[in-house]
Amino acid sequence: MLDWGNQFNICCFLDNNNYDSPWHQYEAILAADALHTLEVNAGNAFPALQQFHQTHAGWLFGHLAYDLKNETAGLHSHHYDGIGFPDMHFFVPRIIIQLQKDQVHIGGEAFTREDAQEILTAVLRTPPDTTPVVTSPVQPLQSRLDHQRYIAAVKSLQQHILQGDCYEVNFCRENFMENISIHPPALFTRLNGLSPSPFAAYYRLHHRYLACSSPERFVQKKGNTVISQPIKGTSRKDADPVTDRQLQQDLLNSAKERAENVMVVDLVRNDLSHTALQGTVEVTELFGIYSFAHVHHMISTVSAQLSSETPFTEVLRNAFPMGSMTGAPKLRVMQLIEQYEQTRRGLYSGAVGYITPAGDFDFNVVIRSILYNADNRYLSFQTGSAITFYSDPEKEWEECLLKAAAMEKTVIG
Q: Dihedral sign, CA of 141, 413, 194, 211? A: positive
The residues facing 387 across adjacent strands are 169
Cβ neighbours for 358, distance < 8 A, ≥ 6 positions apart? none
Length of the chain: 413
Task: Identify whether 216 is a catalytic site residue.
Answer: yes
Exactly one of 168, 216, 260, 338 is catalytic; name it: 216
Task: Identify whether 260 is a catalytic site residue.
Answer: no
Could you give the dihedral angle defined by the CA atoms of residues 272, 324, 381 and 252, in that order, rounded to the nearest 10 degrees?
-140
DSSP E strands in 244-360: the ranges are 282-291, 295-305, 327-328, 351-355
Best CA proximity match to 379, nearest among 211, 199, 216: 211
Exactly one of 69, 221, 232, 330 is catalytic; name it: 232
First to last CA, the chain: 24
Contact criterion met (CB below 8 Å) for 170 and 324: yes
Taking 3-state DSSP, the helix, strand and coil percentages for the chain, each rounded to the nearest 5, stand at 35, 35, 35
Give the residue numbers marked as catalytic: 216, 232
